[in-house]
Structure 1
Amino acid sequence: MGADKGPDPPTTLIDPALLKEHMDARRANMIILDCSYDLNRNVEKDYLTGHIPGALYFSIKECRDKSSPYPQMLPPAPVFAQFVGALGIDNNTYIVVYDNNPRGLFGAARVYWMFRAFGHDKISILNGGYVGWKAKHYPTTMQRDYLTPRVFHATMRAGYLTTFEDVVQTIKGVTSLPAQLVDVRPPTLYQCGHLPKSKNMPYYSLLNDPLPTLKDEDGLRKAFAAASIDLDQPIVSYCNSGVAASMLFLAGILLGKTPEEITVYDGSWWEWDRRAKGHHGYIEYSL
């Protein structure tokens, strides 16, 4: 879980000090994205009141499948390519994503998962996010930057995405290698309704306190063990809309799992609750 020492290949996490080194050295072809996501705040307004110098705003609410009835579904590859290309990103860009949320890194984790799913591996997450950056008393700005659009080619990789139909097969036990279903929502939401056979592992169990940094390898393994999740078996992560679920994907990658071994159920509870109604045994409760 070390930091990125050079341009290729980047590691999953980068700490604030190394990011500042890259910025001071004007590292070529590096773009920083503020990927903040919070349903209770206007995160774009927060971005305009302060962000890492040079960081561009990435709207998760805009970069989605707008034809879907579910809120944050992964957009089709051409839509994603057009969205990120308009930001000035191409396939040679090294991207650093961060989140301005003291409760977690799930916005950054979601965008990290999206880029990986569409074939782009030159990406790191700022460990600790904007909170960690400010804790170091590094500079911030209110200036909004724009870059010249570039061409980005996106191809959806197999194995990153789990669908409603995939989950049904898992619950029925008709797959050749059944996956463990993991609900990363807080226990109160899990108890009020969850996917059958799923285990609860709240996303915040992956984080240190008070800074929202990812736990080290030993801490992550203990968190999985405490939730009775076997890291040697496939995992499907879900939450309310597929955003926080990406944090479990991130943790799995840090522990050496392949993307195919720890996928994200994109529709998550938002889709499942609506499509599972009327099907006996498709929803469990733990009251």
Structure 2
Amino acid sequence: MLWYHIVFLALIQGVTEFLPVSSSAHLILPSQVLGWPDQGLAFDVAVHVGTLVAVIGYFWRDIFSILSGWCHSLRTGEKSDNSRLGWWVIIATIPAVLFGLVFNHYIEDNLRTINVIAFTTIVFGVLLWLSDRYFSSSKKLNELRLPSVVVIGIAQAMALIPGTSRSGVTMTAARFMGFTRDAAARFSFLLSIPIILAAGSLKIFELVTVYKLVNVDWHSMLWGIVLSGVSAFACIHLFLKWLNKVGFLPFMLYRLVLGGFLIFLVNMG
């Protein structure tokens, strides 16, 4: 890749991983729309590592509290908000893992197209806005219960379809369940940690076992980690800071414009 490919793709991954606009769609589009070379597995690993470091770095206090409470509950049987949240993250992750194991190859071979991305970008953008506009939202993060967690987990599994947006669909589900914007966003970000870790680990395993680390551009990987990590950290901070002020309408409008542009490209082709 050329240097501006590296910079653009790393920044795009860092920014879109946690915004409700679909990072997978934005990483697919440059190669299909602009004719850029595919960034390759090694670079995918790098930007996943960068975003993982960012979200862990931003929420390290919450993560420490959750892990401490969860481990304490295993030893003593005493339950707390943190121990429950630890279990909720685990439970909500299971559907995505199972869905990925069963359908990942089919999705990779058949659904990474502009048509699919355009459709999911528009539909799930509208659903995000509807959940934010018309459903009550008074529940806090400590009010999460198993039925809501299962719904959010199933929604997260749908994000394997390009254009859906993992963060977007989990926030949508949480808003439909009556949670505040802040609670929906924070739970979505916490859910991203095991998912990104699992996806990154799978890619690293494939990189090591299948490609034997041959022709890996370590310089590009390093820049991918740094740029995606810094941009993701800034994105999380600004998103949580501004979310209650701006809501999800701007993201819905962006998705409508992007989806319409993609439909235009398909028709022009």
The TM-score, its normalising length taken from structure 1, stands at: 0.29
Structure whose residues are more often helix by fraction: 2
Which structure exhibits the higher relative contact order, with contacts defined as CA atoms closer than 8 Å and separated by 6 or more residues?
2
Structure whose residues are more often strand by fraction: 1
